[in-house]
Structure 1
Amino acid sequence: MTKLTTLPNDTKGLFSKQATWQSWLMVEGALAQAQGETGMIPLAASTEIRRHMRIEDYDLDALEAEITQSMSPVMAIVRAMAVRCDGDAGGYVHWGATTQNIIITGKMLQLRKAHALTLERLGRCLTLLSGLARKTADWPTISRTNRRQALPITFGYKVAGWIDEFQRCVERLIEVEKRTFVLTFGGASGAMHSYGPDGFALSAKLANILGLEVSAVHSRATNDGLGEYVAVLGLLAVACERMGNELYTLMANEFGEVFERQSENVVGSSTMPHKTNPKYVVALLAESAHLRNMVAPALEACRPSHEGDAAFNFRLYDLLDAAGISAYGVVTRLETLLTHLECDKAAMYRNLMINPAPLMSEKIMLELAKSTGRQNAHDIVHHAIVVSERDDISFADALWQEKEVSSHFKDKTALADLLDPATYTGCSAEIAAKLANAGAESAEMVAKHARKLSGQDI
């Protein structure tokens, strides 16, 4: 088992104003390093510029004032960085770059940090779900389709479905990285005007320093990778909502199959002292809906005009910040819920046994079909259910009144042996055990991947 690291409560700090300025300084420093190593600027100037990459060394109030006056935040950073450089090194800061090159590249660094934390937290959730699937692999419960009782399953099978979906979320989040965390650094219009043919080597070097992929076309108007990333986060939100809604429903008094472990000091209602309301699941559902609702605006922001459009940029950058914060919030709330989740095996069995015999209609039908054929067996069993409800007699008695049933089974005991729903859970336990193991493996994999991503920060 991988040792758990301490994770932050939220990622808001990664997208703060100061963190944004820091990301720009890192990009400017990396740009100077790449240009020095490729001979585009003097190596001494490159080294000097990189001495001034810490936002803590700057007068933040002066920066704020300069930004207010110039209405150009990146230019304010460039000027402040240049002033701090000795000799003529300041003249090489931001060499050939444009504002949006710096902003979007800095945004990639910020978002990648949040992405790594989100993956690490999601890995923990998979570990918890795997443990839950293993624990409840053989706990009989009832499946429900169209909100009506269907066939017996185990609770572990239900959990296995969640694990399977979250594994796909992990796959999508990792697979989309190569199209999301991409360097777009081709100057004002993206065609390397200020760099010339050397721009291709420069972009490759800069991407390597920053741990980013390289754009084939450095167009500032191509944002589909970012829109796709938010859409993938939206699918993560949907997975959390699906699981959360199921648990929220099963927490109702009428079900009582799961509940949240809460301190005795937690208050459910200001006016109803008896209430013990769910707290963690509702927080998960609210944050998941918030994240899911970002998908459409993100796609809307992916269609700027011509070769660049600040109006669309502002929308997209704000959405990326919000999505990075919300995605981590979602998986943090998911982990909190799973940590406090308790399952009531007795309540599951009680609900399974509300009207147990009809739940076995499929099994009876398949057995009877051996002598009557499948279609006839279906009609016979369905008729027995109608008679049972109409005449208020047991399902077993109604079945025995059917001549095809009484002739197929040697006695009523043989029929009764097929009417225990706890014995008819299909391959539920096997599936639960399989996904418990798969989920644990995925958790280990994603933890390693997240640590690798975190190590890419320069």
Structure 2
Amino acid sequence: MTSTPYDSPIYKNQYGTEEMRQVFSEKNQIQTWLDIWSALAQAEAESSIIPEKAAREIKEQSSVEKFDMDVIRTEIAKTSHPLMPQIRYLSSIVSPDAARWIHWGATTQDLLDTSLVLQFKQATKLIIKNAEEIQSKLLVKAKKYRNLVMAGRTNTQQAVPITLGYKFAVWADELGRDIKSLKCFYDHDFVGQFGGAAGSIASLGDKGIEVRNRMCELLNLNSPTITWHVARDRFAKLASYNAILAGTIGKIALSIMELQRTEIGELEEGFTLGKISSSTMPQKRNPMICDVIVSNCHEVQNSSQMALSAMFVVDERDVTWSTEQSYFGRIFLLLSAALKKLSSVCNTMIVHEDRIKDNLNMTNGAIVSERIMLVLGEKLGRQPAHEVVYEDAQDSFNNHKHLLDVLSEDKRITAVMSKEEIKELLNPQNYIGVCQKEVDDVLRKWSN
């Protein structure tokens, strides 16, 4: 029986992916602890703190497959301690001579922090991979629709023409910056923890830093300059980067939803017979997948706030960190599902070019009124030209007339330009500015 949708056999794929669930599984968590104990023992043996034979034996037995998970769960309930049952179990399957050196000089938080770092590193690698897949698909679409002119919109209203490729390129470029930030974090900020009781590593005398650095090296983690038991800024930074990525992903999904509105109908997340949008309205083709993406991304951002609150830590250690496993797991699970779903949407997305063309012309030429105003401004001055075109544009809107007809009847305009000039200026295809060049710049910037 399951108690949350995150692990429900029915709903779990709405809230996570199988790969990410494996990262935050009990078995993987315990395996990271065993890897840390093994690395710590090896580092201490190399520094002549514990016997080499003990370190080898600890390493040989450090496999979660050798653990009885039912025993571990029972012992955790009995001891109310997250780590002691594993220490006792590992001690029971090695020789007494090796058992005495397990966890030597370490404190519980050293293990739990470093374990989280290892899990977060695995999770971030998946997030980067999934985000790169989406960016690649958006770049393909940017190139494909580089020249397809559509209505650009500001404040929910049509503004001036752009191209659909430009819209995709904006998304791809933003996503690229998010990926770049996470890659930088991946390379530099996954740092191991080994400080002992209060961060001084006093238990190892003058060899503490040497052991800590070697332990981190064996775990393929960066070494800290100083113990960070009470410095949670890296985790807050990671949560923030994930929240920013969720903002980008959620924004893209929301934009697709907006463009799928019945009244717009330019993009569609994809549809096949059998997909149901409503239990009562058979005609509906709701953007159901994008809806879930947006919801997940909101939850990621809300959960990320907890990492900022966790920065308020006192003295040399307290238990503020104890909640990080919970909300970080949620962040990564939800974000992984959002990324996977958006990748699917990119595969199945429908572009309704006919609707794009219809919508581009629905304002009867007004979408290019800025161009008329600027050309007219060269002759009349910018502000007088703005007032003239403003009056004519409102006349066009209020009386459902094409702007060409209104402008062609305005003597203030016909005195300085012909009807043919006006007609050419009102062609949306001729007023897309640098959209195509910017698409090319984005493609060049992110090409492998």
- 1:297 matched to 2:306: yes
Percent of matched pairs sharing the same residue: 27
- 1:47-58 equivalences in 2 (<5 Å): 47-58=56-67
Shift of 1:295: 2.0
- Give CA-to-partner distance per residue, 1:377-433, whole Å, 9 cap, x none: 212211222333455543223223433421221x31222121111221111122223
Most deviating of 286-295 and 262-271: 262-271
Corresponding residue for 1:269?
278
| Equivalent position amino acid for 1:29 in 2 | S
Corresponding residue for 1:345?
353
Shift of 1:187: 0.4
| Equivalent position amino acid for 1:427 in 2 | V
| Equivalent position amino acid for 2:299 in 1 | H
| Equivalent position amino acid for 1:168 in 2 | R
- 1:414-433 equivalences in 2 (<5 Å): 414-433=421-440
CA RMSD across the alignment: 1.8
| 2-structure distance, mates of 1:175, 1:239 | 18
**Residues 179 and 225, structure 1, Cα contact 8 Å, conserved in 2:** no
| Equivalent position amino acid for 1:343 in 2 | V
Corresponding residue for 1:124?
133
Corresponding residue for 2:387?
379
* Alignment equivalent of 1:138, drawn from 119, 143, 147: 147
Most deviating of 97-106 and 62-71: 62-71
| Equivalent position amino acid for 1:286 in 2 | S
**Residues 250 and 258, structure 1, Cα contact 8 Å, conserved in 2:** yes
User: Which of the pair has the greater relative contact order for Cα pairs under 8 Å at 6+ separation?
Assistant: 1
Corresponding residue for 1:81?
90
| Equivalent position amino acid for 2:395 in 1 | V
Corresponding residue for 1:62?
71
* Alignment equivalent of 1:406, drawn from 414, 424, 429: 414
Shift of 1:434: 2.7
| 1-structure distance, mates of 2:51, 2:18 | 43
| 1-structure distance, mates of 2:271, 2:380 | 55
**Residues 129 and 436, structure 1, Cα contact 8 Å, conserved in 2:** no
- Give CA-to-partner distance per residue, 1:18-66, whole Å, 9 cap, x none: 2211111111011111111222211111111100111111222222222
| Equivalent position amino acid for 1:62 in 2 | V
| 2-structure distance, mates of 1:321, 1:392 | 55
- 1:226 matched to 2:235: yes
Corresponding residue for 2:374?
366
**Residues 143 and 152, structure 1, Cα contact 8 Å, conserved in 2:** yes
| Equivalent position amino acid for 1:413 in 2 | E
Unaligned ranges ≥5, structure 1: 1-6, 442-458
- 1:106-117 equivalences in 2 (<5 Å): 106-117=115-126
Unaligned ranges ≥5, structure 2: 1-15
| 2-structure distance, mates of 1:415, 1:60 | 78
TM-score, scaled relative to structure 1 = 0.90
- Give CA-to-partner distance per residue, 1:276-319, whole Å, 9 cap, x none: 22222112111111111112222112212211112x12222212
- Give CA-to-partner distance per residue, 1:335-386, whole Å, 9 cap, x none: 1221121111111111001024111211111211222222222122112223
**Residues 76 and 85, structure 2, Cα contact 8 Å, conserved in 1:** yes
Any idea what SS the aligned residue of 1:382 has? helix
- 1:42 matched to 2:51: yes
| Equivalent position amino acid for 1:380 in 2 | V
TM-score, scaled relative to structure 2 = 0.92
**Residues 10 and 329, structure 1, Cα contact 8 Å, conserved in 2:** no
| 2-structure distance, mates of 1:142, 1:184 | 53
| Equivalent position amino acid for 1:400 in 2 | S
Tell me how many residue pairs correspond in the alignment.
433
| 2-structure distance, mates of 1:110, 1:23 | 8
* Alignment equivalent of 2:107, drawn from 98, 112, 131: 98
| 2-structure distance, mates of 1:255, 1:10 | 37
**Residues 113 and 193, structure 2, Cα contact 8 Å, conserved in 1:** yes
| 2-structure distance, mates of 1:216, 1:205 | 13
| 2-structure distance, mates of 1:162, 1:60 | 45
| Equivalent position amino acid for 1:421 in 2 | P
